[in-house]
Amino acid sequence: MPRIFDDAQLHDQSDAKTRRKLQDQRRMAYRRAIEDYAEQCQLQRELADYPELISAGRMQAVDRVQRNAA
């Protein structure tokens, strides 16, 4: 027995798909943010073993800022 859809049902299905798609996009953005944060934390822990790299990186950043300001 074929099912007959009226316009309201088609519209509801479309809204549900759009809503699910937006939820998936938000969920994936949240997941990427968590992964980025975890990677940054891991990098900070690894760099903590080599403080000379951190100070060298800061000096390079300061040099870049000074050159751009000039």
Residue 35 parent element (H or E): helix 7-48
The pLDDT score that the predictor gives to residue 45 is 87
Give the distance, in angstroms, between the CA of residue 65 and the centroid of all CA atoms in the same chain. Answer: 27
The pLDDT score that the predictor gives to residue 1 is 47
pLDDT by residue, tens only, the chain of 70 residues: 456 656 666 667 788 899 999 999 999 999 999 999 999 999 888 878 877 766 777 777 777 777 787 6
Q: Which amino acid is at 39?
A: E
State the Cα–Cα distance between residues 65 and 70, nearest whole angstrom: 9
| 54 CB-near residues (< 8 Å, 6+ apart) | 47, 48
